[in-house]
Amino acid sequence: MAPAATSQEMKLAEACKAEGNRRFGLQKYAAAIESYTEAICHAPEWDVLYINRALCHKKRSDWEAVRADSQRALDLFSESVKSHFFLGVALLELGAPKQRAIDHLIKALELAREKGDKMKDDIWRELARAKYTQWQEVSSVRKAKRKRLQHRLETVMQRELEAAVGTSEEQAVRDDIETMEEALRSVSREDEAGEIPAAYVCRLTMDIFRDPVMTPSGLSYERSALLEHLHKVGKFDPVTRSTMGSSQLVTNLGLRSAAHQYLDDHPWAWAECM
């Protein structure tokens, strides 16, 4: 571990960080990286510098650099929303095992909710992308295996049917073939998209709930959409028109848990969240 930066080194690091922020604001990402790197030389244990540099790398789609800086920032401070978020996205872009990316994105989302961080919507979309692509990969393998199994079973059953034609066993074999086909169709439905139950869909966004809140009237809405309604339209329930304010909203943990469980049980639905 590097020794803690002196007060003079911190002043130099802060000056370099400020210059990096200025360059970032001008979209001069390569120059900003130089400034943050110089700041790191003065204060190598300051996690924010690695996070800021990771963001610059992210803007340049340099995912390996994003991964390295995000991991370093997490080594210094494990409860950073941005570090978990950037690392999750980098792992996703680098083609790492999806579950590794998902674990970091879930942690980032949990931290963002605890801290009221506005990044939670961006994190949710990336988590949805990771979950959906993970399902696509698993589903593709599962479909190939089912197809191979179906071919083998049909070959065997067809031979049995040919041997049983004209005998007392013919109808039993035909019944077994029908049962087999129905069983395979039933299993395949888990990989078929369907309609998301209305109970899990917000009336305002028409999207599946991410962070539902309940109003005094007992109705639930997506938090961000309802807060926008209260700010821009008026302080009343969108459906009942009852007067209300943001302080009266209660997080609907039961609905959030149920909606997220539905997504885990029907991962094709993550496509609606991206």
Entry pTM = 0.84
Residue 274: pLDDT band (50, 70, 90) is confident
Which of 103, 119, 135 finishes a domain?
119
Instruction: Note whether 237 and 219 are within 8 A (CB).
Output: yes
Final residue of a domain: which of 90, 119, 148? Answer: 119
Confidence of residue 3 (pLDDT cuts 50, 70, 90): low
Q: What is the CATH number of the domain that holds 223?
A: 3.30.40.10
Provide the domain count of the chain.
3
Considering the chain, what percentage of its residues have pLDDT values greater than 70?
Answer: 99
Tokens standing for residue 13: 């690091």
Question: What are the tens digits of pLDDT across the range 84-105?
Answer: 999 999 999 999 999 999 999 9
Query: Is the confidence at residue 181, as pLDDT, over 60?
Result: yes
Burial class (CB in 10 A: 0-12, 13-18, 19+), 50: buried
Domain range for residue 245? 198-273
Instruction: Specify the pairing of strand 212-214 against strand 220-222.
Output: antiparallel
What are the tens digits of pLDDT across the range 136-146? Answer: 999 999 999 99
Per-residue pLDDT of 7-34, as tens digits, reads 999 999 999 999 999 999 999 999 999 9
pLDDT tens sequence across 117-128: 989 999 999 999
Task: Give the helix ranges, DSSP H, for the chain.
Answer: 7-25, 29-42, 47-59, 63-76, 81-93, 98-115, 120-164, 170-188, 223-232, 253-265
The number of beta carbons lying within 10 Å of the beta carbon of residue 236 is: 16
| Residues 147, 103 share a domain | no
User: What's the first-to-final CA gap in the chain, in angstroms?
Assistant: 40
Domain boundary among 191, 214, 229: 191
Kindly state the tokens that stand for 93.
Answer: 């872009």
Would you place residue 188 in the very low, low, confident or very high pLDDT band (cuts 50, 70, 90)? confident
User: What one-character DSSP code corresponds to residue 96?
Assistant: -
Helix (H, G, I), strand (E, B) or coil at 154: helix
Residue 2 — pLDDT band, cuts 50, 70, 90? Answer: low
Residue 260 lies in a domain: yes
Mean per-residue pLDDT, 191-197: 90
Cα–Cα dist 51/55, whole Å: 6
- If asked whether residues 111 and 145 sit together in one domain, one would say no
pLDDT surpassing 80 at residue 192: yes
pLDDT at 1 over 80: no
Provide the pLDDT for residue 70.
Answer: 98
Look up the CATH number of the domain holding residue 34.
1.25.40.10
The whole-number pLDDT of residue 18 equals 98
Whether the predicted pLDDT of 189 surpasses 90: no
Reported for 19-26, long-range contacts at CB under 8 A and 24+ positions apart, including other chains, are 20/52, 20/53, 20/56, 21/52, 24/52, 24/55, 24/56
Mean pLDDT to the nearest integer, 56-75:
98
Helix, strand or coil for residue 212? strand
Of 66-70, 86-90, 147-151, 190-194, least confident by mean pLDDT is 190-194
The verdict on 165 and 235 lying in the same domain is no
The pLDDT tens digits of the residues spanning 215-259 come to 999 999 999 999 999 999 999 999 999 999 999 999 999 999 999
What pLDDT is recorded for position 216? 96
Burial group, residue 177, by CB count within 10 angstroms (0-12, 13-18, 19+) = middle
State yes or no: pLDDT of 180 exceeds 50.
yes
Q: Kindly state whether residue 1 falls inside one of the protein's structural domains.
A: no
